[in-house]
Structure 1
């Protein structure tokens, strides 16, 4: 039988308990609700991308002519569409609803890109080359990937980069970024959400299983992040974990997220 242990992955700066920020209970709840809403939007997009890619790659004929993909929201549906290799046509479409693993609709009829898809394709093509600029310090640790999530934001676009891995038993927190571009794809602001990659091990070499993981944020990033929650929701179902926490030195408290309840709780200690 595998040993069950409570495992904490903690990276805490030297000065941790200074409470520099003050929020009323209502203000704090509003902030956490906003973070959770953004996290669930990110998850809905990445969940669709994951499962659509898995399905597309099992289709040999489709895989032969498959180029890049786009994932976007249309009313209550999250669509992932695959372009052909010269990026001129849509050759497959998968529609997802309510974060399900299986699409509610599939189409393999070749068609032209609609106006939304053309805009998103153009934003991608302009944004991606900019990300290699050294001033953004975008890193790609060995054994990890970076997945791009593009979301309309007022008149602009948010571009999230979140870490991914195929390594078993790892939840790849950290090494995540948020960019905002104008409606032409020119980056106008950027944020490195975590200072580095913070991979959490759900299983250890001795075959023991973690029941809790946590990491610490810098004082400049006082809240649990939407990318933290999105990443956990993607990888936790592959483990025995149901919740994780972050320690906020700026607030002197822990924030615990449970993906089955989709809840964020303020706790003194997880």
Structure 2
């Protein structure tokens, strides 16, 4: 009876752990997809805006956000007035974008996005935690969900044939839109070639995490993978750490498992493969 109870407790612990990892996977994946949708609106919104707006000296900046699931890119003037609103359909085709060049005030939610975006920009300019690298620039992505205010800062390459992971940061804010905390999501910058001189076009990739709080794949990793998928065509990508192995695939599915479980699974696959090959040789 005692052994049965012990086994039952172990099974419950395993099930609870699996449910927690599935919940964590869903949360990270959903946030990564939301960041991607915002960044796509910024990418294509900038193209649409520049093609239709002449007085560029009047521009103070821009940001994107999801308005009831509709991606919108907002450009504002140096007087902090909205001078362009570009809304996108799910295909992000610039030809299908809804462009409004009427000057107006920020809506209440836009004013919140504007405030944390500007405060993040000021922090980037003064805090030495932020590192700049040649042929890169920072992308500022304000994010508000369930009254939680964040700004993700990603590093984007200004040269071709490179996908940049890392050198990304997360700023969190209080209810007054003041910066509460700044943290690095990766320990360094990880440039990855799309086309390798020796092996040709890469088909996948992997990098490791060592920052204790960010041992799984990050929302910024997922955002980057989705942004560059049309160039890389990577079917999958793996992030490893001492505690977790995160596997993302191009169907926007994410699986996170304990590193020890992943190693055991890999060892069993190799053992079964060796047994199969040995059997085939003796037959």
Once residues 234 and 116 of structure 2 are traced to their aligned partners in structure 1, the CA distance between those partners, rounded to angstroms, is: 36
Once residues 249 and 95 of structure 1 are traced to their aligned partners in structure 2, the CA distance between those partners, rounded to angstroms, is: 42
Q: Which residue of 2 aligns with 1:264?
A: 254
Q: Which residue of 1 aligns with 2:110?
A: 117
Question: Pick from 119, 141, 144: which aligns with 1:152?
Answer: 144
* TM-score in terms of structure 1 length: 0.81
1:1-270 aligned at under 5 Å gives the runs: 24-59=17-52, 61=54, 63-84=56-77, 86-98=78-90, 100-102=92-94, 103-134=96-127, 137-206=129-198, 208-218=200-210, 220=212, 221-251=214-244, 254-259=245-250, 261-266=251-256
1:53–1:219 Cα change, 3 Å: closer
SS in 2 for 1:31: helix
Alpha-carbon shift at residue 206 of structure 1 (Å): 4.9
Alpha-carbon shift at residue 115 of structure 1 (Å): 2.3
Compare CA radii of gyration and give the structure with the larger one: 2
Contact 2:154 2:167 in 1 (8 A): yes
Once residues 29 and 120 of structure 1 are traced to their aligned partners in structure 2, the CA distance between those partners, rounded to angstroms, is: 30
Once residues 184 and 26 of structure 1 are traced to their aligned partners in structure 2, the CA distance between those partners, rounded to angstroms, is: 35
Structure 2 gap ranges (5+) = 1-13, 257-261, 267-283
1:133–1:60 Cα change, 3 Å: closer
Once residues 65 and 132 of structure 1 are traced to their aligned partners in structure 2, the CA distance between those partners, rounded to angstroms, is: 22
* TM-score in terms of structure 2 length: 0.78
Alpha-carbon shift at residue 153 of structure 1 (Å): 4.2
> Cα deviations across residues 209-243 of structure 1 (Å, max 9, x unaligned)?
10111101116122111111101111121223232
Contact 1:76 1:97 in 2 (8 A): no
Contact 2:206 2:240 in 1 (8 A): yes
1:54–1:130 Cα change, 3 Å: same
1:61–1:174 Cα change, 3 Å: same
Q: Which has the higher helix share?
A: 2
